[in-house]
Structure 1
Amino acid sequence: MISVDLERHAEAARALPAETLLIGGERLRHGSGAAFGHVNPATGRVQHEMRLAGAAEVDRAVRIARAAFDGWRITKPSRRAEILNRLCELVGRDTSHLALLSALENGMPARQFSGRQSAIVQGWLRYYAGMADKLEGLVTAAWPAENLEYTLPEPLGVVAAIIPWNAPVISLAMKVPAALAAGNCVIVKPAEFTPFTSAHFVRLALEAGVPEGVLQVLPGGAEAGEALVRHVDVAKVSFTGGTAAARRVMAACADTLKPALFELGGKSANIVFDDADLARAIPYCGAFPMNNAGQGCQLPTRLLVHEPIYETVVEGVRGTLAHLKLGDPLAEDTFMGPVVSEGAMRRILGDIDRARTERAGTLLTGGARAEAAGWFIEPTVFVGVDPASHLAQNELFGPVLAVMPFKDEDHAVALANGTPWGLAGYVQTRDLGRAHRVAARLNCGNVYINGAMNVHPAAPFGGVGLSGFGKEGGRAGIEEYVRHKGVAVALA
C-alpha cells in the first residue's frame, strides 16, 4: 500500500493559482470552454474547479498579441535578453514553488523538478537570452555588381505554443525563450491537466518585464487548440504531443498554409553492447525509462541487450527497479510518482494486459496497479519481447520497459530502426569506433552515448518519422521562429 499524506496534499493545494488564464494583463479563473475539475493524480481527489479556455478567449488573445507584436518586434535585442535573463533568475527563485505545482498537477516528484528540471529550464532561458542579439542577415553574391542584395531576419508574428502535460515547464523553456528572443509574441496552450505551472511561468515572465500581450496562457482542450491553430493571425504552430493530435493540427494548419513544428512521441532503443561499463549502464537502463513514471517522449523504453550479457543485464535491471521508491510525489525519497490521470492508468494497464494476452514477452516484474488512492502503476518489465508486437512497436507512455536480445551490431541497428518512430537512440559501449558507427546508422534525431545528458539547450532536438519534424535547441531552434527577407538595392 502506497502511503500518500492526504492532509499535506490538501494543504499544498492552497498554493494552486486560482486564475490560470492570462489574457493581456488580465488573470481569469474561467473561460468559455468546458468545465474541468482538476484531479490530483496522487490522491484521486478533485483539487481545483475551472472552465477551460474556448474559441472566444483564443480570438481575444490573438488580437491582443497581434497588437503587441508591433512594439515587441522593434524592442532592442539587448532588452529582450535582459528580460529573459531576469526570467531565468525568477525561475530559480521560485523553483520550490514550481516543484510543488508540478507534483500537484501531474504527479512528478517534487525533488525531480527541484533537482534537475529547474536547472534545465534555466539553462534554456540563459541560452536564448544570449541568442537574442545574434540573429544575422547576409550580403548575397550579387554585390558588388548591379545590386546590393542582403537579407533581414524577421520574427514571424504570433506563435501558438501547444505544450504537453508530462513536462510542461521544460516544454515551455524549449519553445517560449527562442520565440521571444526572435521578437515574436507567444500564446501558450497547456493541456487541461497541467494549467498551474504554465500560469505561474507566464506570471514570472510578466514580472521579468515581458510586456502585456506578448506572452499569454490559455489552458484548454481540443476546442481551444483547434481555434488557435486555425486562427488566421497565428503565424506558426509549435506543437509537442501525440502523433494522432499532430495529424489533426497539421490538417488544420493547411487551411491557412501556416508552418508547424512537431515534437512528438518515440519508442527509443537503448543498445547495450557486451563491452559496456555495466556498473554504470545497468542502473541507467533500469531507472531512466521509469523517469516521470515513464511519461517522456524520449525515454529509452526498448532495451536491446547483446546476447553474451543478456541475463546479467536483465537481472541487474530487476535489482535496480526493486530499489526505486514508488510513492507520494511530495515525499523527498520518492523516485516515481503516479501517472497523470485515471484514464492514462487504465490505458497503460490495458496495454500491459494486451502484452500478456498476445504473449508479446515474459513479464519480469510489475504489471499491476499499485495499491493506492491515486493513479500508481508498478514499474513493469517484459523480457524476450517480440520485436513485431504492439508492446515493441507502440509508445505506451507509462512505466513499461520492453527488453530483447540481439546477436551483433547489424542486428542491434536493425532492431533499433525497426519502428516508425525516430526521436532518440541510446548506445552503451566502451568501443569509441562502434559508438560513432552505430550513432551514424540509427534513424533518429538524437543519439546519446554512455549516459550523455539529453535535451541540452545548445544542441538541436527533434525527431524523424512519426516523431515529428523541426528542431528545438541551438541556432536551429531560434531559426524556427524567424523568416529571412531579401532586400535588393539598385546601384546603377
Structure 2
Amino acid sequence: MPVTAAPTELIPDTGVLIGASRTSATSGGVHRHVYAANGQSTAEVPLGGAAEMDAAVRAAGAASDGWRNTPGNIRRDLLLRLAELVEQHATELIGLQTLENGCPRQFASKMPELAVDHLRYNAGWADKIGGEVVPTWPVRALDYTLDEPYGVVAVIIPWNGPLVSVAQMLAPALAAGNTIVLKPSELAPFTALRLGELALTAGFPPGVVNVVPGAAAGGAALVRHPGVDKVHFTGGGPTARKILADAAERLVPVGLELGGKSAHMIFGDADVRMAARMAMSGVIALSGQGCANGTRVLAHSSVYDEVVRTLTARLARVPVGDPADERTLMGPVVSAGACERILGVVDRARDEGQGRLVSGGERLGGDLGDGYFIAPTVFADVDPASELAQEEIFGPVLACTPFDTEQEALQLANGTRYGLGAYVHTTDLRTAHRVSRAVAAGSVWVNGVPGVLPSTPFGGVRQSGWGRIGGEAGVREFLRPKNVWIAT
C-alpha cells in the first residue's frame, strides 16, 4: 500500500518564537522540510541566524531575574499546567513527531506520556530547591549554601526525539529557575515550536521559553552569545567539539549528551529469546537512530548462533512501512543524506569483510521506494576493530560478535571510545553486579530496556559526554551553589 500523505495540517506557524512573538522574517535562511516516508516537501522552515539568536537571548535575559525570583510553588504549578496541556494535545503532538522524522505512530504515541512524566517529576523539585547549613570550625559562624540558577541557558537538541528531548531539558532547567533559548534541529522543528506555544498558554512569562530553529550557523551564534550563561547540547561528537571551542572563548560551562555504541552482553545463562527481543530494539527504535540504542550484540559462544538465528528470524517479521499505520514498528531514516550514509557503511562492511551479512543491507523499494527505508540489517562475526563495531552508525544496523569469558565480554564492550549505555542479560545476580560495575557506561540496564526514566540520571562517560539529565542530578545540572559565611 502507498504511504499515507504527510499530515501537513498539523504544522504550526513556522518561524521563531521569541518572547510572546512569532516571526518568519529571519536571517538564517530557509530549510525545506521533507517527509521521510515519501520524500515529499511539507513546509519551508525559516531559520534563526545571529540576529534572531541575539533577540532570543536578550528576551531570556530580560525575563531572567523575574523568573529566578518566582516562588518555587509557582514554577511548580506552571510546569504541572504545561504537563496537562501536553496531555490534552497528545494526538496532535503524536502526529507532529511522525511528520517531523518519520517516527512510527506506534512509537510516537508513547512520547507524550514520557514527556509529561519528565515535566511532572521535575515540577516536584521546583519548590524543594534550597541549600544546606554547613558546620564550621574552628571559628563560630553560620555557614549556609544557596542553590542558584545559571541564568540564560542555551539548549540545543537533535531531531530524533524532539518532544521528549525538549521535556528532558526544559523541565529541570525551568524548575531550577533558568530561562531558556531552545534551538531545535532544522530537520525537526515543529514539536519544539508547538511546545513553546503551549508554555505560553500555560502561563510562563514571555521570554522564559524561546524557540529558535536553526542550522549550524545559528547554533554557533547562540553558543557564542555573551548573554548565554550555560549551554547544554545533545548530538554528535564533531558538533560538540565546535561548541566546546566556542564556549571556551568565554569559559561558559557546557553539558553534553553525545553518541554511543552501546552493547548488549548476552551471557550463556540468559533467556535467549527475551535477550534477542530486547536487542532488536537497537534496530527498531527510531530505525536505529537513538543515542542509547544497543547496536552491538555480544553473545557468549554457547548461545551465539541461537542469538543470531533468533534475531534474524524476528527482524524478518518486523512490520516496516508507513509511519502513520498503527501496525508499523519501524519507519524510515530521517533523510536522503542519512539513507545514503548508512548504506555506505553497509557497503563498505560487506566489501571489506568487516563481518558476515546475515540479513537486510538494502534500501526498500516498491510502495516504500520514494521514502528513506532501510531493511533491518544484521552482521554476524563482526571484527571488533572494524567500522561496524567502532563507529556510531545511527541507523538500523546490528553488529554481532561472540565471546568466551566475562573478561572478554567486558573488553569488547569497553573497546570503543564511547560510554553511554550498556545492556546485560543474565540470570546470575552476581554476574549482573560485577559486569555493571566494570563496564564503562553512564547507564546499565539488566534484563530490560525501560528507556530513560525521569527519576534516573542519564548521561555518558568517555566521548559520550558528561553531565546528567534525570533525577536530582538532572536538576543539579542547572544549579550552582553559592556559599554564605556569617561570623557570629
Paired residue for 1:174, among 168, 174, 195? 168
Partner of 2:148: 154
Instruction: Map 1:26-425 onto structure 2 (within 5 A).
Output: 26-114=21-109, 116-142=110-136, 145-371=139-365, 372-425=369-422
**1:255 partner SS:** helix
Deviation of the 1:412 alpha carbon: 0.5
* Corresponding letter in the other structure for 2:344: G
* Corresponding letter in the other structure for 1:431: D
What's the CA shift string for 1:404-438, capped at 9, x where partnerless? 10001111111000000000000011111101111
TM-score normalised by length of structure 2: 0.98
* Corresponding letter in the other structure for 1:198: A
Whether contact under 8 Å (1:448, 1:454) holds in the other structure is no
* Corresponding letter in the other structure for 1:396: I
* Corresponding letter in the other structure for 1:217: V
Instruction: Map 1:386-465 onto structure 2 (within 5 A).
Output: 386-465=383-462
Q: Equivalents in 2 of 1:51, 1:119: separation in Å? A: 29
Whether contact under 8 Å (1:99, 1:111) holds in the other structure is no
Q: Equivalents in 1 of 2:78, 2:50: separation in Å? A: 30
Q: Equivalents in 1 of 2:412, 2:194: separation in Å? A: 43
Whether contact under 8 Å (1:20, 1:195) holds in the other structure is no
Paired residue for 1:488, among 458, 463, 485? 485
Whether contact under 8 Å (2:354, 2:383) holds in the other structure is yes
Whether contact under 8 Å (1:164, 1:191) holds in the other structure is yes
Going from structure 1 to structure 2, the CA distance change for 1:483 and 1:26 (only over 3 Å counts) comes to same
Going from structure 1 to structure 2, the CA distance change for 1:20 and 1:329 (only over 3 Å counts) comes to farther
Whether contact under 8 Å (1:143, 1:149) holds in the other structure is no
Q: List 4+ stretches of structure 1 deviating above 3 A.
A: 143-146
Deviation of the 1:21 alpha carbon: 1.2
Whether contact under 8 Å (1:293, 1:337) holds in the other structure is yes
Q: Equivalents in 1 of 2:283, 2:135: separation in Å? A: 50
Deviation of the 1:29 alpha carbon: 2.6
Whether contact under 8 Å (2:45, 2:186) holds in the other structure is no
- Size of the aligned set, in residue pairs, is 485
Q: Equivalents in 1 of 2:466, 2:182: separation in Å? A: 20
Deviation of the 1:143 alpha carbon: 6.9
Gaps in structure 1 of 5+ consecutive residues: none
* Corresponding letter in the other structure for 2:262: S
Whether contact under 8 Å (2:272, 2:303) holds in the other structure is no
* Corresponding letter in the other structure for 1:392: A
* Corresponding letter in the other structure for 1:66: G
**2:327 partner SS:** coil
**2:148 partner SS:** strand
Q: Equivalents in 1 of 2:137, 2:86: separation in Å? A: 47
**1:440 partner SS:** helix
Q: Equivalents in 1 of 2:15, 2:197: separation in Å? A: 10
Deviation of the 1:268 alpha carbon: 0.3
Q: Equivalents in 1 of 2:22, 2:14: separation in Å? A: 6
CA RMSD of aligned residues (A): 1.2
Deviates more, 1:278-287 or 1:173-182: 278-287
Deviation of the 1:90 alpha carbon: 1.0
Q: Equivalents in 2 of 1:454, 1:98: separation in Å? A: 20
**2:229 partner SS:** strand
Deviation of the 1:295 alpha carbon: 0.3
Gaps in structure 2 of 5+ consecutive residues: none
Q: Equivalents in 2 of 1:294, 1:458: separation in Å? A: 25
Q: Equivalents in 1 of 2:185, 2:402: separation in Å? A: 38
Q: Equivalents in 2 of 1:362, 1:30: separation in Å? A: 52
Q: Equivalents in 2 of 1:333, 1:30: separation in Å? A: 40
Q: Equivalents in 1 of 2:25, 2:96: separation in Å? A: 19
Q: Equivalents in 2 of 1:71, 1:5: separation in Å? A: 47
Q: Does 1:3 align with 2:9?
A: no
Going from structure 1 to structure 2, the CA distance change for 1:65 and 1:355 (only over 3 Å counts) comes to same
Q: Equivalents in 2 of 1:289, 1:450: separation in Å? A: 18
Whether contact under 8 Å (1:287, 1:324) holds in the other structure is no
Q: Equivalents in 2 of 1:144, 1:133: separation in Å? A: 34
Deviation of the 1:277 alpha carbon: 1.4
**2:123 partner SS:** helix
What's the CA shift string for 1:312-371, capped at 9, x where partnerless? 111100111011111011111111111111011111011111111111001011101111
Q: Equivalents in 1 of 2:275, 2:30: separation in Å? A: 46
Deviation of the 1:300 alpha carbon: 0.3
* Corresponding letter in the other structure for 2:437: A
Q: Equivalents in 2 of 1:5, 1:160: separation in Å? A: 36
* Corresponding letter in the other structure for 1:322: A
Deviates more, 1:172-181 or 1:277-286: 277-286
Going from structure 1 to structure 2, the CA distance change for 1:131 and 1:101 (only over 3 Å counts) comes to same
Q: Percent identity?
A: 48
Q: Equivalents in 2 of 1:23, 1:398: separation in Å? A: 34
Deviation of the 1:399 alpha carbon: 0.3
Deviates more, 1:390-399 or 1:370-379: 370-379
Whether contact under 8 Å (1:30, 1:50) holds in the other structure is no
